[in-house]
A and B are shown apart, each in its own frame.
Chain A
Amino acid sequence: MSNKMVVNFTSWIKSAAGISITISILVAVFAAINSGPYLIVNTVVTGGMLALVATGLTLMLGVLNIAMFAHGEFFMIGSLTAYYVFTPISEFISENPESFVAVIGPLIAIVCAAIMGAISGVVAEKLVFGPLRKRSTDNWVMNSFLLTVGLSVLLVNLHQLIFGADFKGIVGYWSGMPISIADVFISRDRAMAFVISVVIVAMFWFFMTYTRTGMSIRAVSQDITGAQIVGIDIEKIVLLTISLACALSAVAGGSLLFMYPSYPTVGLEPLYLAWFVVILSGLGNILGAVAGAFMVALLKAITVEYIGAGWDFVIPSALIMLVLIFKPSGIFGSDVRGALDK
C-alpha cells in the first residue's frame, strides 16, 4: 500500500502539476527568506480572492461554455454593494465602537455583496444569455463571448452614469490592532479576507464533490447530453451555475473593498488575473483554478518585489504564452478529454 503511494507520489511530482506546484512552493519559501514574510501574506490574500473569481470563471466556461469577459463587472457590483451597505454600518460603528455590529457589520456587507452578485447573475441569464441560447444556432462560443464584452461595457458605463467615476472606498472593515504572527503584522482586514476565501473555497469544493447538485453541475460540464439523459434539468443547473459564479466574483469584490475601492473599471484587474489563472490551470478545472490562483498571485507579488510594479502583468502574460506553446491544455489539464475539447 505504502509502496503504491510512493509510486503515485513520484508520478505526481513528475507531472506538470507536480513540477509547477513544487517550484512555486520553493520560490515562495526562498522569496520569504530573502525579502520578508509579508510577501507570502500578500500572495495568500490576493491568491485566495483570485481563487474565488477564477473558480467562477472556470464554472461559466465549463458548464455554460461562455468565455466570460464581464466577470470583473460582477466583482465591481460586489464592491459597490458592499460600499453602500457598509457606509451606514460604519457610521453606526463609529458612534458605538463597542457594539457587536463592529464584528458582524462587515460580514453583513459581504453577504449582501454575494446576494447582489447572485441576483445580477440571474438577471444577466434571463435578459442576455437565455435569449441568446434560444436564438444562437451555431458559433455559440463567439456569440456569447461578444455578448459578455458588450455586457461589460454596459455595466461599466451604467456604474459611471449612476454612481459617478470617483473612488468609493472605505478605510477598513475591522478596526483594531493588526494580528501578529512571528513578527509579521497582518491587518485584520487582510486576515479576514484570507479566512473568507478559504472558507468559501472549501465549502465550494465540498459542494462540487459530494452533493447531488454539485455533481450534476459537473455532469453538465462534462457531457450535456449525458446529463439530460440521466434526468438533470439543464435550465435549472444553468441558472444555478451562473448565479453561483457571479456570487463568487461579487464576494471577492466585497471582501477586498478595503484594498480596491469601487469605481467603474475596478473589475478589469481581477478579470485579467482570473483569465491568467484559467489559462494556466486548464479550462474548466476547478481544483486546478484554486492552485493556479495562488501561483499567479505569487508570480505577481514576486514581480512587483524584484522587477518593479509596472511589470506585474507582463511576466504572467509571458508565462501564459509559454504554457500555451508547450502545454496547451494547461498545467493541470487532464489527460481525459473534456466537453470543451470536442
Chain B
Amino acid sequence: MLLEVKNLDAGYGYLQILRSVSLNIDKGEYVGIVGPNGAGKSTTMKTIAGLIPPMGGSILFNGEDITGLVTSQITKKGISFVSEEMNLFVNMSVRENLLMGAYIIKDKKVRNDRLDFVFDLFPRLTERKDQLAGTMSGGERKMLAIGRGMMSDPKLLLVDEPSFGLAPQLTANVFESLDVLIKTGVTIMLVEQNVTKTLSVTDRGYILENGKIGMEGASCDLADDPYVRKVFLGV
C-alpha cells in the first residue's frame, strides 16, 4: 500500500469539511476521486499534501505516518502536488520553474536529468523554456505545473482538477499527458469534476459526497452504476 488514509477529518478553521474519509492507493495505480462541487475533493488533496492540517485520523505513506507534517517535509517523502491554481512562479522562466520543482534534489546532475526527462515528456515546454510562466496560455501552464510536479521524481503525484478553466481540446491534451506519466511508473491520484472522462481513464475511483466517501470501486463498474449515472452523468 503506497498511501493509506484512515478516518481523515479536515477543514478550514471551525468549518469541518471532510468527515472520516478513508482511502488507499497501491503502487502504480491510477485512482480518481470524483464528486460534486464542495464535496471536499480538493480539501482531501490539500490535506494529504500538508497544506491543511488534519483535525483527526491518520495518513500513512509507504507505511510511514506523515499526519501533520508540513508540506515541504511531505514533498521530501515523495508526494508531489499539482494544485488547481497551479501556483507557478509567474516571473520565472519555464526552465527555472522546472528547476525549482526539483528543489529537493541536491545533486545538480540528477536535476538536469529530470529536466531532460520532463522536456521529453512535454516537447511543448522545450519550445518555451525561456518564456516567463505568467505569459503562457492556460493549457501550457497546466502542462508546466504537471511537469514541475514530476521534477522531484515523486512516488505519488496528486493532480487537482487538471481540466479546470481549460478548453475541451486542451483538457484532452492534459489527460493524454497524464496517460504518458502513468506509463512511466508513477502513481497518480486525480481529482476531477469531469466524471465521465475521469472514470474512463482511471483504474479505480472514489465518489466523494458531502465530505464522505459515498462509493468506491473499479472505474468501469462505477461508470455503469445506476446511481452514479443518474446523479453525475444525468442519464
Contact = CB atoms under 8 A, between A and B. Distances in A.
Question: Is the pairing of A and B real?
Answer: yes
B148 A230 contact: yes
Interface stretch (B23-31, B83-91, B198-206): B83-91
Contacts of B83: 225-226, 229
Given A215-B99, A219-B100, A225-B51, A231 B90 contact: no
Given A222-B89, A225-B87, A216 B135 contact: no
Contacts of A226: 83, 86-89
Contacts of B90: 222-223, 336-338
Given A230-B104, A336-B90, A336-B91, 9 more contacts: A215-B92, A218-B89, A218-B91, A219-B92, A223-B88, A226-B89, A228-B70, A229-B81, A229-B83
Given A222-B91, A223-B87, A229-B49, A234 B103 contact: no
B132 interface: yes
Given A215-B100, A335-B135, A336-B132, A230 B91 contact: no
Given A222-B90, A223-B89, A225-B83, A230 B101 contact: yes
Contact of B104 (A215, A222, A225, A231): A231
Contacts, number: 79
Interface of B: 49-51, 70-72, 75-76, 80-81, 83, 85-92, 96, 99-101, 103-104, 132, 134-135, 148-149, 151-152
B231 to A, nearest CB: 32
Contact of B91 (A227, A233, A338): A338
7 contacts: A222-B90, A223-B87, A227-B89, A228-B71, A229-B75, A231-B76, A336-B134
Interface in A320-338: 334-338
A230 B134 contact: no
Interface in A217-269: 218-219, 222-223, 225-234
A228 B132 CA distance: 20
A212 interface: yes
B100 A230 contact: yes
Q: Which 5 A-B pairs have the closest CB atoms?
A: A226-B87, A336-B134, A231-B75, A228-B71, A231-B104
Nearest to B149: A229
A68 B116 CA distance: 42
Interface residues of A, number: 22
Given A216-B100, A216-B103, A219-B100, A230 B135 contact: no
Contacts of B104: 230-231
B51 A231 contact: no
A82 B96 CA distance: 39
A46 B20 CA distance: 62
Nearest to A212: B103
Most buried by B among A226, A230, A336: A230
Nearest to A229: B81
Given A223-B89, A230-B104, A336 B72 contact: no
B92 A230 contact: no
Nearest to A284: B91
B51 A228 contact: yes
Contacts of B88: 223, 226
Contacts of B85: 225
B229 to A, nearest CB: 35
Nearest to A341: B90
Contacts of A335: 135
A219 B151 CA distance: 16
A47 to B, nearest CB: 25
B103 A231 contact: yes
A233 B81 CA distance: 16
A229 B134 contact: no
- Of A215, A219, A228, A231, chain B has the most CB atoms within 10 Å of the CB of A231
A228 B76 CA distance: 11
A174 to B, nearest CB: 40
A229 B83 CA distance: 9
B144 to A, nearest CB: 11
A10 B76 CA distance: 46
A216 to B, nearest CB: 6
A334 B86 CA distance: 20
B89 A231 contact: no
